[in-house]
Amino acid sequence: MRTESRRPAWLGWFYDLQIGRKQMIAMVVCELIPILGLGVGSTVVLVSSLRAQLLSQAKSEVAVTEANYNVKVNQMGFGSRGQSDNPVIVNAAKVSQQGQSLANDAQNQVKQILQNEVKARQIEYATLVSKDLQIIANANKNRVGEKIASGNLANLIKQSIAGGQQIKASEILSKEELSREAPPLSEGASSADALIRYVITPIKDPENQDVIGVLIFGDIVNGKLSIAENTLKAFGTGYSAVYLRYPNGEFALSTSLYKTFLNQQTDPQSRVPLPDTSVLAAAAQAKGEAVTQRLSIGGQTYTIAAKAVPNRIVEHPDGAIPVYSEDAIALLVRGTPEAVLDQVLSSSLQQEAIVLILSLGVIIGWSLLFRRTVLKPIQQLERATQDFAQGDRSVRAEVFSRDEVGQLTIAFNRMAENIAETEQILSTEASRQEHQAKEARALTDITVQMRDR
């Protein structure tokens, strides 16, 4: 009686496969699922970890950019603080405080001091201003007697006079103010609006410590590569820039350097802008916190970190106090190349591919061994069974091993021998009985003949 198969229909194809193929599929699935699972999982964890590390690294590197940005500011701060105690500068401020004009010799002496500061510190502005915001002397084009017209600079001067503290600030220098001062500009700078770093230092009367004027040092950022250059020297490659933000929210590139990671022998490129300024807009609102974003520059992906510079830093006896606002003027940018991350991922994928290939090699090797030690004996036993069923009673299966297949082969051989012996006995007995029957028939024939006589 034939019984109906209750195997699942969707597994019918697997049930009908040869044992070798079933074993191959089982080994491949059992080996590849853990390997691929661990590989994909480890890759995801590795990528996540490296990206977090890259974000942290980019934030640290933009802090280095900030330190490079502040180097010149601090130099101007030390220099202007020293000159604020210069008797010539103090005397000029006193004379102006009294409503008098400086003598030509005194005027020239003050101007020479300011010009020396400009040359020594490689800055553009050095100006002595009275409490009523009138220029007493300046290092560039003669502006003696002019009143400071820039609203932002005037406010900084008033704050410094009122508090008696040194103020460091980043401001927009209009092209009109730049034209009036006519300072010597660095190569690459233009006569358009520029980003300038101011240091306003109060000049105090040594007798009563009253503020009698201010000394203004200013360094224009536009066209100067030292900030970005020092950052690239520290890290070798990447992107470094300083941006100016206008009150309407637009951004203008002040200076930048870009050096590709893939070809470090090439010279850095200057004046390379960001393809997207949304990271700058976010940084301007972050009040000094670094903001990150992934961007493509020159066909390579970079993790960009942007940070706003304090609108002003007020020097107090207890230390410097940075003041941020949502209208940040200067923003620093550092781009960390992700090529290193790509190299690590590529190396990881190569290792996973090697493991996968080795695993497949092991699977194939074990499959061949399985085929030789299990499938081949079974196939030989199958052929022997078919030959035996077709009447070849001399066929025997070769015993390859003593495992279950070997025991089955031994059992088949024993069965074949028993059947052959049984058939031999039956054949002999049949022949004997046939011979006896013939003798009986002959005897009967003889008996009948004798009776007939």
The string of DSSP letters for 351-407 reads HHHHHHHHHHHHHHHHHHHHIIIIIHHHHHHHHHHHHHHTT-TT-------SSHHHH
End-to-end CA distance of the chain: 62
Q: Which long-range contacts (CB under 8 A, 24 or more apart) does 355-360 make?
A: 355/35, 355/39, 356/32, 356/35, 356/36, 356/39, 359/31, 359/32, 359/35, 360/28, 360/31
* Residue 118 φ/ψ, nearest 5 degrees: -60, -45
In terms of C-beta density within 10 A (0-12 exposed, 13-18 middle, 19 or more buried), how is residue 233 classed? exposed
**CA nearest neighbour of 47 among 295, 348, 383, 448:** 348
pLDDT of res. 453: 62
pLDDT of res. 395: 82
3-state secondary structure 26-71: HHHHHHHHHHHHHHHHHHHHHHHHHHHHHHHHHHHHHHHHHHHHHH
**CA nearest neighbour of 246 among 152, 325, 171, 149:** 171
pLDDT digits (tens, 9 = 90+) for 4-53: 556 666 666 666 666 667 667 776 777 667 766 666 666 676 667 777 88
**CA nearest neighbour of 139 among 193, 80, 81:** 80
- 164 torsion bin: left (phi>0), alpha (psi -120 to 50), beta (else): left
CB 344 within 8 A of CB 49: no
**CA nearest neighbour of 210 among 168, 161, 167:** 161
Two tokens at 103? 């003598």
Distances from the Cα of 342 to the Cα of 89, 270, 347, 349, 356, angstroms: 58, 25, 8, 10, 21
Two tokens at 206? 């040594």
- Identify the segments of the chain with pLDDT beneath 50: 1-2
CB 193 within 8 A of CB 235: no
Beta bridge partners of 199: 168, 217
pLDDT of res. 212: 95
Token pair 């000394």 in the structure block, residue: 215
Angstrom distance (rounded) from CA 297 to CA 268: 13
Angstrom distance (rounded) from CA 235 to CA 444: 123
* Residue 227 φ/ψ, nearest 5 degrees: -65, -55
